[in-house]
Amino acid sequence: VIKGSHFRNLAINRPPDTYGKLCLRNNVGQEMSHCKTSIHRGQPNPVFKETFIFQVALFQLSDVTLMISIYNRRSMKRKEMIGWISMGQNSSGEEEQSHWQEMKESKGTQVCRWHMLLES
């Protein structure tokens, strides 16, 4: 997760406190693993620059889905999803499917692309 762009907080007139959540799911939708980025306070264009590694057997790679969600932390307990994308078996679009395919073929080198978040 490298960077976000143009995040807004519609409830109040200041940039949101944002973080990302990554969740790896198997072919029946069960969570296999998850992790979160650090929280970036009051930044409309947060720079995360965080790398996450998930252990997936090669034969499972075609059967998993990586969900990436961005949240606005409104208070200690309250959060709201700003948007999401998914890559893998249940990709949220052609661009995400193409990115997943390119990552599978890259043999360990980093593949970076911008994605538009879908509204929650």
Q: Which CATH class is domain 18-105?
A: mainly beta
User: Which tens digit of pLDDT belongs to each residue from 4-47?
Assistant: 988 876 666 778 899 999 999 999 999 999 999 999 998 889 99
The whole-model pTM stands at 0.88
Give the DSSP letter of residue 116.
P
Within 10 angstroms of residue 30's Cβ, the number of other Cβ atoms is 8
CB 38 within 8 A of CB 32: no
Q: Report residue 105 as tokens.
A: 């073929």
Residue ranges of the domains in the chain?
A: 18-105
CA distance 117 to 20: 12
- Say what the pLDDT of residue 9 is: 67
Give CA separation, 51 vs 75, 77, 104, in Å.
26, 26, 16
